[in-house]
Amino acid sequence: MRLTFLGTGTSFGVPQIGCRCPTCTSADPRDRRTRTAALIETNGKRLLIDTPPELRLQLVAAGIDHVDAVLFTHAHADHVHGIDDLRALSVRQGAKLQAYGSRATIAELAAKFPYIFDPTFVVAEGTSKPELAPHALEPGTTASIAGVPVLPLALPHGDHEVLGYRIGPVAYLTDVKTIPDDVVTALRGLDVLVLNALLSRPHPLHLSVPEAVAAAQRVGARRTFFTHLTHENTHAALAAKLSAGIAPAYDGLVIDLPGA
């Protein structure tokens, strides 16, 4: 199994427009953070998690020319507004791309992007649009997605609910404020946990860095990587603050899990 961090930044991205802070002006490539997305490859299949605004650039940088399914965590702009870039994939594949999310997320995507999800919308001859086949997932119920067992997990994001995903020894949770006890139980025995960690101070919608550290310790994965990062810390500065087994991710980071 391979996990690739396509993007690790918060909704503003890093560098942030108009900012001259140490992170935004850093020469360290790990401090250039596009909006959050990831790719999991296992058993010859590729599962894409979210479609942020920079998706085209992320997939080109990672050398990805096809995916077998798309998993959406939720429908906020920084996680879905690159959805039109899926057009290149569905055109290449000559078939609809299977797309998964909660019922609420699928409904919100259909409302935001009717040209994609409305079957009566027909493009002009000689043009194209993303071709997606939407599927609603039930939290807590394992689904077979492209032949891969995927466990969707319901998590609070302020007044919204997002889906995290456990795929074998890896779990990907982003934009969460807390991890409920039942989800902690479902995450036992992980090799890799991916978790959002926004700021050093509390935030109403996201885990702060101290809260994310505490959550990681509760889950007890062998390794934890933080994503959805702001410009508050450079990669090197944040890494120096974290204890063994916990590290910030960065765009392009690849984690291979032998035998998984």
Which run of H or of E encompasses 60? helix 55-62
Mean pLDDT of 240-246: 95
What would the two tokens of residue 47 be?
Answer: 């599962």
Contact between residue 22 and residue 234 where contact means Cβ atoms under 8 Å apart: yes
pLDDT of 75 reads 97
Q: Is 45 exposed, middle or buried (0-12, 13-18, 19+ CB in 10 A)?
A: middle
Query: Which domains does the chain show, CATH number per domain?
Result: 2-256 (3.60.15.10)
- What value does the mean pLDDT of the chain take? 96
pLDDT of 258 reads 82
SS3 assignment, position 174: coil
Contact between residue 249 and residue 8 where contact means Cβ atoms under 8 Å apart: yes
* Per-residue pLDDT tens over the stretch 52-65: 999 999 999 999 99
Residue whose structure tokens are 């509390």: 202
Which residues partner with 47 through β-bridges?
Answer: 40, 69
* Per-residue pLDDT tens over the stretch 97-141: 999 999 999 999 999 999 999 989 989 998 999 999 999 999 999
* Per-residue pLDDT tens over the stretch 56-89: 999 999 999 999 999 999 999 999 999 999 999 9
What would the two tokens of residue 76 be?
Answer: 């906020």
* Per-residue pLDDT tens over the stretch 186-236: 999 999 999 999 998 888 889 999 999 999 999 999 999 999 999 999 999
pTM to 2 decimal places: 0.97
- Upstream peptide bond of 139 is cis (omega within 30 degrees of 0): no
- 147-176 exposure pattern, b = at least 16 Cβ within 10 A, e = fewer: ebebbbbbbebeebebbbbbbbbbbbbbbb
Mean pLDDT of 39-49: 97
Q: Judge whether residue 260 has pLDDT over 80.
A: no
